[in-house]
Amino acid sequence: MSKTTSLKAGSRLEKILAEGTFAVSGECGPPKSADGSVIAEKAKLLTGYVDAVNITDNQTAVVRIASLPSAVIAQQNGMEAILQVTCRDRNRLAMQADILGAAALDVKNVLCLTGDHMSFGNHPQAKGVHDLDSINLIRMFKDMRDEKKFQCGDEMTVEPRLFIGCAENPFADPFELRVHRLRKKILAGADFVQTQCIFNIPKFKTWMEQVRAEGLHQEIKILAGITPIKGAGMAKYMKNFVPGMDVPQEIVDRVASKEKGEPQQAEGKKLAVEMIKELAEVEGVAGVHIMAVEWEPAVPEIVEAAGLLPRPVVN
Amino acid sequence: MITAERKPLDEILALLGDAKQVLVAGCETCVAVCLTGGEKEAEILASELRIKAKEDHRKLTCEHTSAIRQCEWEYLDMIAEKVGEYDVVLSMACGIGIQSMAEKFAPKLVLPAVNTNMLGMPQEHAVWLERCVACGDCRIGLTGGVCPVVRCSKSLMNGPCGGSHDGLCEVRHDNEDIECAWALIYERLKAQGREELMLEERPPKDWSLSSSGGPRKMVREEAKPV
């Protein structure tokens, strides 16, 4: 079987990872308005610097342009999308309908998430759907793709060709469960995983040791999460208030040791570059996922300084 | 048990409008045990309403009564005569009791004086914790006796999300920490030597067995009178 026919979706991201090239994905949060040009601009900014970009799905439970139309806008502007789908806002009917639409519109990468809880967002009175969890979601999309079956068992004529992703947080508790959970996601059908942003590299390496001990790095493509820190305030906020984040004090101190503004931003970018280089050396890490939250302009510089240019051209 | 909390007095007054004859009806079962809607609480609410009416120079006849169980027809028969003397019944029972009253005495106006909030367990005196949502498909045999449907903020069926930290959920309720259900499940399963259950993939839940399937009905044919 040739390499092309063994691809599940044939997305740029999948091809790059299949070739064993170190992949770079980015992130784009749609705007809190009907202004689609924001997505187009972010897509253009990142083109040539990342291989594909996550399009978030009402991130932090705040209403934004939906991830599917945003993904289409990004792709119309030359940037391959990774469609985020959360279980918080839609049930199995809606998620299957959306993924059929995504495939029909040539969106090939999907990231299956549980979703941030409603209480963190701007509609805390909303009813959380949570019909499925993220592992059910992965399995449902895999069965649609590989078995041509809907979750109910009904058959379809044309299946959605998908490169299925998941997230994992090596810094959440119980720590010993985190690798088991990744294995569960692999067994359910995940092809790639993007991790929570990494600041505590020793802990990430411990997690990777467990991943390698179980051979999971050979069964799934692992993209290590990176978030450039824009300033000491952001570092402190992430350390103290963002669920599931592990930001060591020395990281906060290092950024805070510089003058506010440009010097702290420069230090944040420098730190991101150092971390990418260190993570790239970890056996089993197949790429990085750069989440520059509302700081997309920093990405090209970081990717370049990390020596990850030029990005590969794939057919 | 079913737990409920009394509605704020202003909300009750708004519901009552200009009602002139009001019977406050307590229930001696769950709502009495959770100190919300038993006979004593019904008596207190009736007094509050009379005092408020006096302050506002309104005419109001307001008394209280209590049923052993507002959710069963035969106990409602026992208060039927009293109910007949009033225009409005203000029920302090759970949502089941209130609806039973409304159905039994229709079209009499029966109004709720409480918010029914959960199927709770008394953790200590005057503290109740939610333990069940009556989903119709109990899985706690696989989760160490801890229900992830109600105790996990996202009702996950396959283990903890990325927000579990130090045994706590990322979500807080009324500014208080919540235990992570999956951390509890894992610890319990470990203590039972059954932690391998954590590795098994649980399929999507059948929510048609819950209220998503429409109002449910249970019939025990073998117990029906012949």
* Residue pLDDT, tens place only, B127-143: 999 999 999 999 999 99
> Distance (Å) from the C-alpha of residue A157 to the closest C-alpha of chain B?
23
The answer to whether residue A147 scores a pLDDT higher than 60 is yes
**Interface-testing mutation among B143, B154, B182, B184, with chain A (most A C-beta atoms within 10 A):** B154
**Rounded alpha-carbon distances, angstroms, from residue B194 to A236, B119, B158:** 40, 28, 15
Q: With bands split at pLDDT 50, 70 and 90, how would you rate the model's confidence at A6?
A: confident
Which residues span the domain enclosing B168? 133-202
Q: With bands split at pLDDT 50, 70 and 90, how would you rate the model's confidence at A2?
A: very low
**C-beta atoms surrounding B211 within 10 Å:** 13
Domain identity same for B41 and B149: no
* A311 contacts A48 by C-beta, under 8 angstroms: yes
The answer to whether residue A1 scores a pLDDT higher than 80 is no
Number of independent structural domains in chain B: 2
CATH (domain of B62): 3.40.50
Record the tokens describing residue A168, joined without a space: 């994992």
Length of chain B: 226
| Chain A positions touching chain B (beta carbons under 8 Å) | 87-88, 92, 114-115, 117, 119-120, 128, 130-136, 139-140, 151, 167-169, 172-174, 177, 180-181, 183-184, 187-188, 196, 243-244
pLDDT of residue A5: 58
pLDDT of residue A241: 85
Domain identity same for B45 and B110: yes
In a domain, B176, yes or no: yes
Strand partners, B122: B128
Domain identity same for B26 and B112: yes
| Sign of the torsion angle spanned by Cα atoms A134, A127, B70, B42 | positive
Domain identity same for B22 and B79: yes
Q: What is the pTM of this model?
A: 0.95
pLDDT of residue A243: 76
pLDDT of residue B174: 87
Helical packing angle, A298-305 and A37-46, nearest 10°:
20
Strand partners, B173: B176
pLDDT of residue A242: 83
**Inter-chain contact B204–A131, Cβ cutoff 8 Å?**
yes
Domain boundary among B94, B118, B142: B118
Mean pLDDT of chain B: 97
Q: Kindly state the average pLDDT of the residues B76-80.
A: 97
Fold of the domain spanning A19-168: TIM Barrel (3.20.20)
DSSP H or E stretch at residue B52: helix B39-55
Domain identity same for B51 and B113: yes
